[in-house]
Amino acid sequence: MLRAAGVAATIGVAGCLSGRNRPTNVTLDPPENYDKLVEADLPYPIYGEKLPAVTVPGVVHDRPVSTREFVGERHLLLTFVYTRCNGICLNLGQNLVHVQARAADAGFTEDIAVAGISFDPEHDTPTRLRAWGAKRGLDYDLGNCYLMRPESPKRARTVVEDTFGEAYKHEEGAKMPFLHSGLILLVNDEGVVERSYAGDPPNPTAVIDDVEALVEV
């Protein structure tokens, strides 16, 4: 189940230089075992690859949000969640919260956007999704937080799994009705992926370090 998470956990996703030539339009050093990541042909975008473009209705700014609208403007930290999740999604959400808070404290709010896309639109109404983010600690008044809700379960599958490679499985009647692999993407302001944190959510401190290196704090 959820092959991508297992592969990423086996070969690693962060660390030092590898022997492969460095991709263009990136700032951070290649992740550990970058050569193996490339050879694994993972379903999600990895270091040096362009972030896919999709447009999804936003529930914070009440307008459609494109995953590529930040190109030329700010970096992006993007993840995929659902509000009934009491497991991995809490950690994924906390990474958004900690990065947003650190950006506010250090004065680089204008340089980074934090975003989450739900894959449970039947349950995650705009009101529920906004409440979930607020409960986690996201600050909507800062203007750099984006929560998105696809129009239907079919559209959610197309966006989250088919486009971004975040695999998930529906278990009808379960308390937490979706199993998913867990994915956070750190994307630079040229729309190129700098880090793919897959599998177990990373420590927010490590993500903050990567973000600060990206914005050169």
Which positions make up the binding site for Cu cation?
A: 85, 89
Measured distance CA(73)–CA(116) in Å, rounded = 18
| Among 5, 43, 41, residue whose Cα is nearest residue 179 | 5
Which parts of the chain fold into alpha helices (H)?
Answer: 3-11, 34-39, 88-106, 126-136, 153-156, 204-215
Measured distance CA(168)–CA(2) in Å, rounded = 7
Return the C-alpha torsion angle 64, 62, 207, 178, nearest 10.
Answer: -80
Residues 185 and 3 sit within 8 Å (Cβ to Cβ): no
Binding residues: 85, 89
